[in-house]
């Protein structure tokens, strides 16, 4: 049982990592302001944030323990959430679209581009187009692009 499960999981990793495409937006607003705006836009859309991953803090906190001196992010957070209505729509089109839920918006600032904050989300098409529209709407609201 576990050998089959591990084989399936390992087959999916290589293709998933290379097949992902992300849409990115940049701003010169401070990281904390952008992160707050993204969080507010998600909540304003009537959604609940399931989890906020403070990936940048974790990487910095564990940097020395991993034997590295490279600072990867000045700050990096991932906001995960789901929409009952959009999820129902895309999963009625294809129940296996549940693999993509929860949806995520990433906010990060890297040392080599200090002062520029990037907001990104995965690109979806086909039966997942409603998720793409939702993510773009949230980011546009957060960044004042509407």
Question: What tens-digit pLDDT sequence spans the chain (146 residues)?
Answer: 333 333 343 334 333 444 589 999 999 999 999 999 999 999 999 999 999 999 999 999 999 999 999 999 999 999 999 999 999 999 999 999 999 999 999 999 999 999 999 999 999 999 999 999 999 999 999 999 97
Q: At 15, which helix (H) or strand (E)?
A: helix 2-19
Q: What's this model's pTM, rounded to 2 decimal places?
A: 0.87
* Residue spans per domain, the chain: 65-146
Find residue 76's DSSP bridge partners. 108
Per-position DSSP letters for 93-134, written without gaps between them: H-GGGGGGPSEEEEEEE-GGGTT-EEEEEE---GGGHHHHHH
CA 83 to chain CA centroid, nearest Å: 15
């Amino acid at each position: 049982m576990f050998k089959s499960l591990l084989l399936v999981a390992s087959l999916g990793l290589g293709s998933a990592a290379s097949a992902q495409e992300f849409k990115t937006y940049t701003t010169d607003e401070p990281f904390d302001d952008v992160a707050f705006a993204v969080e507010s836009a998600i909540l304003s859309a009537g959604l609940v944030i399931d989890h906020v991953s403070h990936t940048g803090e974790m990487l910095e906190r564990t940097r020395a323990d991993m034997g590295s001196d490279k600072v990867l992010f000045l700050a990096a957070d991932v906001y995960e959430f789901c929409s009952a209505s959009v999820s129902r729509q895309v999963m009625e089109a294809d129940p296996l679209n549940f693999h993509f839920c929860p949806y995520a918006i990433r906010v990060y600032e890297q040392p080599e581009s200090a002062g520029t904050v990037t907001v990104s989300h995965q690109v979806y098409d086909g039966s997942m187009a409603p998720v793409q529209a939702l993510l773009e709407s949230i980011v546009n609201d957060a960044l004042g692009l509407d």
